[in-house]
């Protein structure tokens, strides 16, 4: 939606100060169980932050605590330099867009958007005029007299967005904003959210369980696992250099391999896995000891795949062998799933390479990569938990 | 083979139509017809077409005072049951976080209905009487010297009994429409700066309108149609529009009783119509 560059931002309720969010040692318990535990996170002012994780990982709880709809059991939340615990949502300078949009079904679109102004005691004429301006910005002024129930999902979302933005927040909190939309609208709204954030320059915190959404939008991706933050970094780092096997699996695009350290030399570790294949990996900051297990990740698109004859024996390092289980055409690349016997290995082969010597299901293949493309994980892989989100294949 | 659109449709609505005609349309029609009959002492009903019964009733000041008293009770009881019903439902729906607890408390509201109306009414006597719980308590505590006379056999005791009997009819429909309010609407209102009262006034109240209208309809028809509670609880000092009908029936003056019934029916229908005018219940129900 074409929103004029911060031009006439409504001066009503202008929130001064920075939209930096700082969570210090935040814990939230529901009954006896922890929703989130000892969260430390700083979201810089004006950034687009995505909280990413499977359902039940605590990402929505964090959002609701920032918004003031939940109170942490312990810990502190700062926005700018002000401590927010105990403050009402409206005093925090945050605005929340709910997953269900939470539009008031008994009010017209215009009155929905004007609700905040009504609560501030702005006169009827003035607030209607301001709300109309806001609706123009989301290009819905022609529907101002409709009831929310008469709008499509996409339109309802724009109304919800207008209703949030009229509070002139320094932090916009989005609870799975794109999950209720169909694929086409989702991509469209995704672009619009990003450009909106660029134009407003305020902090966006966006909760999602969809990896492509997070990567496409976020300046900062926070990957969560059952109440804890596994990794918080730029989208590029999260995707390319995941810290843990969990993040690597959750983000997809990586193969996680585990082996026992056989020898160490010059910052390189040589691993041998259960099948006898050997890999090399830079130990980096990790303290590796000979004889202890270590996990590495290799990006799917950095792997070479070639057919193998039945009597050929594995000899080289950074090679693994298996049988092609399936091939999936993805347009610019072909996703080849290789059955290793004890697990699966996914190789994304570019279409130009693939069609030179196409592999089919049942073919014996060897996958190989260079040590430079290996990324060492800080934790040892305990195996993918039985979770539909994990090992998501894109 | 029957044609789908024709006969089958009529067959499908027949059972309900028969029930309604037999037990609703015919009796009401009979009452209307009888209300135009003439009453003759010792003879009883004389078929006729006279407006005499209506003229008698409308020119009789007793009728008017009974209606004034009934409408007064209706309005007071409506107000009290609404305030009680609204806040009890509000508490159950929005404050009790555990659904099981809410259902448990809701069932608790229905406990008085396990006994009959008469017992529930009679049991107010030992509480409100001159020698009753409240009076002896107040006297025992030295707060008052003389017992309050207005506690029992008064308008007060009538209202107490009505409220006790009919509040549940307000709670149930309001609870029902409140339970359908998306909780995130309340949070959205708080997010937009609404105070607790602001949320109730701007979100909860308008979205509970259907339940309030239905509850009001129950209470209005129940109070307007009652003569028993008012007679027992006021000790015969107050009457209601229905007591007039009862008296006429005792004298076997069926025509005048019928005319009274028709007038009451019209009054209640007018009230119901105005309630439905305020709230489009059918539209709200499909929301």
CATH number of the domain that A98 lies in?
A: 3.40.50.300
| Gap from A138 CA to chain B (nearest CA, Å) | 19
Tell me what pLDDT residue B45 has.
Answer: 81
Of A264-273, A375-384, B44-53, B194-203, which range is least confident?
A375-384
Same domain, A173 and A83: yes
Determine contact: A121 vs chain B, CB below 8 A.
Answer: no
Kindly tell me if the per-residue pLDDT of B1 is higher than 80.
no
Q: Does the residue A289 lie in any domain? A: yes
CA angle, A204 as apex, A177 and A80 as ends, to 5°? 145
The per-residue pLDDT for range A169-206, each reduced to its tens digit, is 999 999 998 888 888 888 888 999 999 999 999 999 99
Tell me what pLDDT residue A383 has.
Answer: 63
Spatial CA neighbour of A384 closest among A241, A252, A279: A252
> Residue A245 sits in which domain range?
241-302+315-376
The per-residue pLDDT for range A41-59, each reduced to its tens digit, is 999 999 999 999 988 889 9
**Which residues numbered 12-71 in A keep a CB inside 8 Å of some CB on B?**
67, 69
Kindly tell me if the per-residue pLDDT of A236 is higher than 60.
yes
Q: Does the residue B32 lie in any domain? A: no
ipTM score here? 0.79
Same domain, A62 and A155: yes
Contact B192 A104 (CB under 8 A): no
Selecting from A69, A104, A116 the residue whose C-beta is nearest the C-beta of B193 gives: A116
pLDDT band at B106 (very low <50, low <70, confident <90, very high): confident
What is the domain-level CATH number for residue A274? 2.40.50.100
Spatial CA neighbour of B216 closest among B113, B66, B84, B79: B79
Determine contact: A95 vs chain B, CB below 8 A.
Answer: yes
Q: Of A192, A217, A237, which marks where a domain is finished?
A: A237
Tell me what pLDDT residue B280 has.
Answer: 73
Q: Does the residue A384 lie in any domain? A: no
Kindly tell me if the per-residue pLDDT of A3 is higher than 60.
no
> Residue B98 sits in which domain range?
63-240+263-285
Selecting from A89, A105, A118 the residue whose C-beta is nearest the C-beta of B190 gives: A89
Same domain, A110 and A195: yes
Tokens of A96: 């929340």
Share of chain A above pLDDT 90, in %: 42
Q: Does the residue B38 lie in any domain? A: no
Q: Does the residue A249 lie in any domain? A: yes
Contact B191 A67 (CB under 8 A): yes
Contact A104 B188 (CB under 8 A): yes
Number of domains in chain B: 1
Q: Which residues in chain B are closer than 8 Å to A112, comparing Cβ atoms?
A: none
The Cα–Cα gap between A334 and A202 comes to 39
Kindly tell me if the per-residue pLDDT of A15 is higher than 80.
no
Q: Does the residue B277 lie in any domain? A: yes
Tokens of A342: 């004890």
Nearest CA in chain B to A163: B192
The per-residue pLDDT for range A119-160, each reduced to its tens digit, is 999 999 999 999 999 999 888 889 989 999 899 888 999 999
Give the mean model confidence (pLDDT) for residues B172-187.
91
Q: Of A210, A237, A264, which marks where a domain is finished?
A: A237
On the 0-12 / 13-18 / 19+ scale of CB atoms within 10 A, A256 is: buried
The Cα–Cα gap between B287 and B280 comes to 11
Best of B184, B192, B286 to disrupt the A interface (most A CBs within 10 Å) is B192
Same domain, A223 and A95: yes
Number of domains in chain A: 2
Best of B184, B191, B196 to disrupt the A interface (most A CBs within 10 Å) is B191
Residue scoring higher pLDDT (B255 or A382)? B255
Q: Does the residue B47 lie in any domain? A: no
Contact A100 B187 (CB under 8 A): no
Tell me what pLDDT residue B237 has.
Answer: 80
Q: Does the residue A53 lie in any domain? A: yes
Tell the residue number behind the tokens 């090679």, with chain if given.
Answer: A319
Tell me what pLDDT residue A8 has.
Answer: 39
Q: Does the residue A394 lie in any domain? A: no
Share of chain A above pLDDT 70, in %: 91
Q: Show the beta-strand stretches assigned E in B34-135.
A: 38-40, 44-46
Neighbouring residues of A120: CB distance < 8 A, sequence distance ≥ 6: A12, A13, B193
Contact B207 A98 (CB under 8 A): no
Residue scoring higher pLDDT (A284 or B214)? B214
Determine contact: A109 vs chain B, CB below 8 A.
Answer: no
Kindly tell me if the per-residue pLDDT of A106 is higher than 80.
yes
Same domain, A139 and A285: no
| Gap from B181 CA to chain A (nearest CA, Å) | 10
Contact A102 B193 (CB under 8 A): no
Tell me what pLDDT residue A118 has.
Answer: 92
Residue scoring higher pLDDT (B152 or B17)? B17
pLDDT band at B143 (very low <50, low <70, confident <90, very high): confident
Share of chain B above pLDDT 90, in %: 42
Q: Which residues in chain B are closer than 8 Å to A95, comparing Cβ atoms?
A: 191
In the predicted model, what is the mean pLDDT of chain A? Answer: 86
Tokens of B154: 């008064």
Nearest CA in chain A to B286: A149
pTM: predicted TM-score of the whole model, two decimal places: 0.80
The per-residue pLDDT for range A269-323, each reduced to its tens digit, is 888 888 778 888 888 777 777 888 888 999 999 999 888 877 766 667 888 888 9
Q: Which residues in chain A are closer than 8 Å to B198, comparing Cβ atoms?
A: 119
| Gap from B202 CA to chain A (nearest CA, Å) | 9
Give the mean model confidence (pLDDT) for residues A68-72.
92
The Cα–Cα gap between A292 and A249 comes to 22
Kindly tell me if the per-residue pLDDT of B17 is higher than 60.
yes
Selecting from B185, B193, B287 the residue whose C-beta is nearest the C-beta of A119 gives: B193
Q: Does the residue A16 lie in any domain? A: no
């Amino acid at each position: 939606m074409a929103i004029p560059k911060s031009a006439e931002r409504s001066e009503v309720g202008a929130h001064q100060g920075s939209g930096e969010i700082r969570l210090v040692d935040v814990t939230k318990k529901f009954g006896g169980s922890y929703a989130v535990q000892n969260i430390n996170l700083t979201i810089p002012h004006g950034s687009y932050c995505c909280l990413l994780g499977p359902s039940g990982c605590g990402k929505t709880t964090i959002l609701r605590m920032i918004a003031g709809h939940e109170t942490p059991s312990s810990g502190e939340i700062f926005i700018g330099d002000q401590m927010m615990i105990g403050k009402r949502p409206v005093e925090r300078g945050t605005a929340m867009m709910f997953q269900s949009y939470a539009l008031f079904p008994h009010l017209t679109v215009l009155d929905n958007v004007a609700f905040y102004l009504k609560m501030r005691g702005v006169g009827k004429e003035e607030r209607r005029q301001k709300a109309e301006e806001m609706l123009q910005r989301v290009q819905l002024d022609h529907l101002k007299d409709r009831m929310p129930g008469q709008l499509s999902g996409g339109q309802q979302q724009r109304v919800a967005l207008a209703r949030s933005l009229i509070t002139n927040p320094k932090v916009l909190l989005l609870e799975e904003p794109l999950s209720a939309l169909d694929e086409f609208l989702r991509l469209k709204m995704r672009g619009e959210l990003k450009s909106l954030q660029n134009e407003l320059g305020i902090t966006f915190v966006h909760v999602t369980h969809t990896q492509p959404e997070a990567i496409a939008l976020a300046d900062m991706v926070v990957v969560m696992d059952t109440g804890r933050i596994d990794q918080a970094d730029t989208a590029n780092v999260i995707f390319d250099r995941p810290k843990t096997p969990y993040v690597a699996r959750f983000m997809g695009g990586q193969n996680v391999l585990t082996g026992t350290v056989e020898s160490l030399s010059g910052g390189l570790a040589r691993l041998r896995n259960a099948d006898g294949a050997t890999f090399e990996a830079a130990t980096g900051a990790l303290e590796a000891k000979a004889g202890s297990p270590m996990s590495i990740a290799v990006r799917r698109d950095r792997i070479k795949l070639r057919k193998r004859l039945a009597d050929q024996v594995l000899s080289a390092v950074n090679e693994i062998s298996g049988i092609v289980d399936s091939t999936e055409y993805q347009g610019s690349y072909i996703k080849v799933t290789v059955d290793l016997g004890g697990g699966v290995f996914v190789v994304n082969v570019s279409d130009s390479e693939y069609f030179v010597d196409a592999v089919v299901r049942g073919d014996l293949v060897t996958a190989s990569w260079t040590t430079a493309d290996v990324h060492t994980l800080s934790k040892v892989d305990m195996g993918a938990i039985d979770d539909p989100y994990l090992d998501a294949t894109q | 083979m029957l044609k789908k659109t024709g006969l089958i449709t009529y067959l499908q609505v027949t059972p309900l139509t028969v029930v309604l005609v037999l037990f609703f349309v015919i009796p009401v029609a009979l009452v209307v017809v009888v209300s135009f009959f003439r009453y003759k002492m010792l003879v009883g009903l004389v078929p006729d077409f006279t407006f005499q019964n209506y003229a008698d009733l409308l020119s009789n000041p007793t009728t008017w005072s009974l209606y004034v008293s009934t409408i007064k009770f209706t309005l007071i009881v409506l107000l009290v049951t609404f305030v009680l019903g609204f806040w009890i439902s509000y508490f159950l729906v929005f404050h009790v976080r555990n659904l099981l607890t809410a259902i448990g408390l809701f069932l608790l509201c229905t406990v008085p209905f396990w006994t009959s109306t008469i017992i529930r009414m009679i049991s107010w006597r030992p509480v409100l009487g001159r020698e009753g719980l409240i009076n002896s308590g107040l006297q025992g505590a030295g707060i008052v010297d003389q017992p309050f006379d207005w506690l029992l056999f008064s308008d007060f005791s009538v209202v107490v009994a009505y409220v006790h009997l009919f509040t549940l009819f307000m709670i149930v429909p309001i609870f029902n429409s409140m339970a359908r309010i998306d909780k995130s609407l309340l949070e959205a209102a708080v997010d937009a700066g609404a105070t607790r009262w602001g949320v109730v006034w701007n979100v909860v109240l308008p979205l509970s309108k259907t339940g309030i209208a239905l509850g009001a309809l129950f209470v209005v028809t129940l109070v307007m149609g009652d003569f028993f509670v008012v007679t027992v609880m006021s000790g015969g000092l107050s009457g209601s529009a229905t007591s007039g009908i009862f008296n006429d029936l005792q004298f076997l003056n069926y025509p005048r009783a019928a005319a009274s019934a028709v007038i009451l029916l019209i009054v209640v229908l007018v009230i119901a119509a105005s309630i439905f005018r305020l709230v489009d219940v059918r539209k709200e129900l499909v929301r």
